[in-house]
Amino acid sequence: MEILVADDDVTSCLLLTTNIKRFGYEVVMVSSHAEVIEWLTIQDHSSIIILSDALHNNTTETLCSQIQKLPHFHYVLVTSKQSDTDHMIAILQSGAHDFLPSPPIPAVLKSKLKIGARLVGLEAIKQNALDQAEQANRMKSCFLANMSHELRTPLNAVIGYTEMMQEQAEIDARAEDFDDHRRVLLSARYLLSLINDILDLSKIEADKMSVYIRTENLRGIIDDVVATAVTLAEKNDNKIKLLYTLDDDVIQTDKLRLVQILLNLISNACKFTYNGKITIQVESLEGDSPGMFQIAIIDEGIGIAEKKLGNLFQLYTQADSCISEKFGGTGLGLANSQQLAVMMGGEISVTSQEGAGSSFVLHHPKAS
């Protein structure tokens, strides 16, 4: 293991390095703060650093702070002749791990180098485990993406052929067959939505999700969403109400992703509301958020306890485990929607009161 020694006093540097080599370590010597950063920048592993508190041209606190910002862990020992407690505390708070007396006491030096070597070794083990976990996560995301594509192709064929058979059953007035085809379509489309969520998740985790920002007419998008929302609302005898007060309809967005986010929020509102009203409110944001607009999806459903709101946008989670048992769902929709909103320069916020409904608000820039 190499140990970096930074000291511009030749005598003290030679004394220190001689003792270090006696303990079986290799030594690299530099004489300035700039050389410390330069050497560490080209390293691809953790290391032990011994800094002299008497180095010129910079403060030890500043150098320790710079070292802590580097990508790898570095165990920092500071040699100092000072006994100023406030100064020593400042150095520790800036990122140093311990002090060495100057001139060095061999037994103390050996002990602290042993501690440093152990910590550096543990850091290497941790980093290796993280690298393996990230690689496994990438492989999982790749598998999910490939599997999702493989499932979507035959499922789209099932949906297409079922729609054709449903149309023919309607023409032939075969009511029982028509209802059977409707059930197949509902199940197939639900399964397709789950597969799409998994595909989006895999793209986001693999950093392969893209948004394509173009100039769009927001009112046209909202009208299309409302038309679909009416069908979603009818399942639980809900009504859709639109409040649109935006003056300028021209925005820049990814239309496909914006529709995906809104339908996800509206679908959730419809799922958790019975014989109620779902309000879609579109308006400009003034004051602290100029250049932004918001789309609020407000329902009169079961609501969410305040202590559970923090879990809503986490992957694989729902506000309550009982919800997934009663209403279904994977816990991916809101997490994916939040990621897509952020990618388009916005975010989704939520307020809710248990038993009184929820309000999910998409904040979106008018121009990217």
Residues 118 and 75: beta-carbon distance below 8 Å = no
Q: What is the CATH number of the domain that holds 201?
A: 1.10.287
Candidates 276, 259, 265; CA nearest to 360 is 265
pLDDT in the model for residue 122:
92
Measured CA distances, 8 to 12, 54, 184 (Å): 9, 8, 79
> Given 205, 227, 246, which residue is the final one in a domain?
205
Instruction: Note whether residue 289 is domain-resident.
Output: yes
Instruction: Note whether residue 124 is domain-resident.
Output: no
Residue type, 305: A
Q: Is there a single domain that holds both residue 136 and residue 279?
A: no
Walk across the sheet containing 47-52 and list its strands.
26-30, 2-6, 47-52, 74-80, 98-101
Instruction: Note whether residue 120 is domain-resident.
Output: no
Q: Left (φ > 0), alpha (ψ -120 to 50) or beta: where does 343 sit?
A: alpha
Coil, strand or helix: which one is 97? coil
Kindly report the backbone phi and psi dihedral angles of residue 363, in degrees, each rounded to the nearest multiple of 5, phi listed first.
-95, 130
Query: How many CA atoms are closer than 13 Å to the CA of 333, on its beta-carbon side?
Result: 20
Instruction: Note whether residue 6 is domain-resident.
Output: yes
Instruction: Note whether residue 121 is domain-resident.
Output: no
Q: Is there a single domain that holds both residue 92 and residue 235?
A: no
Q: What is the CATH number of the domain that holds 61?
A: 3.40.50.2300
> Given 162, 187, 205, which residue is the final one in a domain?
205
Q: Is there a single domain that holds both residue 354 and residue 317?
A: yes
Indicate the pairing of strand 47-52 with strand 74-80.
parallel
Domain that holds residue 59: 2-104
Domain count, the chain: 3
Instruction: Note whether residue 13 is domain-resident.
Output: yes
Rounded to an integer, what distance in angstroms lies between the CA atom of residue 298 and that of residue 289?
Answer: 21
Q: Is there a single domain that holds both residue 221 and residue 329?
A: yes
Q: Is there a single domain that holds both residue 356 and residue 219?
A: yes
User: Taken in order 64, 68, 70, 71, is the CA torsion positive or negative?
Assistant: positive
Q: Is there a single domain that holds both residue 184 and residue 290?
A: no
Residue 183: both structure tokens together: 């059930």
Instruction: Note whether residue 117 is domain-resident.
Output: no
Q: Is there a single domain that holds both residue 314 and residue 346?
A: yes
Residues whose CB falls within 8 Å of the CB of residue 320, separated by 6 or more in sequence, listed in order: 304, 305, 308
Instruction: Note whether residue 123 is domain-resident.
Output: no
> Given 181, 205, 229, which residue is the final one in a domain?
205
DSSP codes of every residue in 277-306:
EEEEEEEEE-TT-TTEEEEEEE--SS---G
Q: Is there a single domain that holds both residue 193 and residue 57?
A: no
Residue 263: both structure tokens together: 């339908």
Q: 27-60: buried (b, 16+ CB within 10 Å) or exposed (e) per residue?
A: beebbbbeebbebbeeeeebbbbbbbbebeeeeb
Q: Is there a single domain that holds both residue 233 and residue 361?
A: yes
Coil, strand or helix: which one is 75? strand
Residues 127 and 47: beta-carbon distance below 8 Å = no
For 360, the enclosing helix (H) or strand (E) is strand 357-365
Rounded to an integer, what distance in angstroms lies between the CA atom of residue 136 and that of residue 127?
Answer: 14
CA 321 to chain centre: 22
Coil, strand or helix: which one is 226? helix
Q: What is the CATH number of the domain that holds 293?
A: 3.30.565.10
Q: Is there a single domain that holds both residue 197 and residue 135?
A: yes
pLDDT in the model for residue 290:
74
Q: Is there a single domain that holds both residue 219 and residue 352?
A: yes
Q: Is there a single domain that holds both residue 227 and residue 347?
A: yes
How do the pLDDT tens digits run along the chain, 368 residues long? Answer: 889 999 888 888 888 999 999 999 999 999 888 899 999 988 888 899 999 887 765 688 889 999 989 988 999 999 987 778 888 898 999 999 999 988 889 999 999 999 999 999 998 899 889 889 888 877 877 777 777 778 888 888 998 999 999 999 999 989 888 888 888 887 888 788 778 777 777 777 767 778 889 999 999 999 989 988 888 888 889 999 999 998 888 999 999 899 989 998 998 899 889 999 999 999 988 766 678 899 999 999 888 888 888 777 876 565 555 555 555 555 678 888 998 999 999 999 999 988 889 999 999 998 86
